[in-house]
Amino acid sequence: MCEYSGVTDWEPLRKAYKQEEEFDVTKKEWLEQKIMVDEWGRPPSLADVPLTIMTRKQALIKQGGDDKSINKLYKESDNG
């Protein structure tokens, strides 16, 4: 049985979802977000590689990123 069975008023959920869509983070907040990556800063994959948690900025730098490429990625994201 679905946890939402019997729910008739979906408005609070719609409002929460809409607020989440409108939430934008600054570039500094975006770079400081903790993400799970492998030891080279790449996103998790099916390979048997140890995972770690680091900031997005650390991960992008480990992947060979520079300020110009990081700015471009931020602008291409939903936040930029």
Answer for the pair 12, 36: CB distance below 8 angstroms, yes or no: no
Q: Check whether 27 has a pLDDT greater than 80.
A: yes
What is the pLDDT, as a whole number, of residue 61? 94
pLDDT score, position 1:
44
Which pLDDT band holds residue 23 (cuts at 50, 70, 90)? low
What is the per-residue pLDDT across 29-55, written as a single tens digit (0 to 9) for each? 999 999 999 988 998 887 888 899 999
Alpha-carbon distance of 60 to 63, in angstroms, equals: 5
CA distances from 2 to 8, 29, 69 (A): 13, 35, 44
What is the pTM (predicted TM-score) of this model? 0.65
- What pLDDT, on the 0 to 100 scale, is given for residue 48? 83
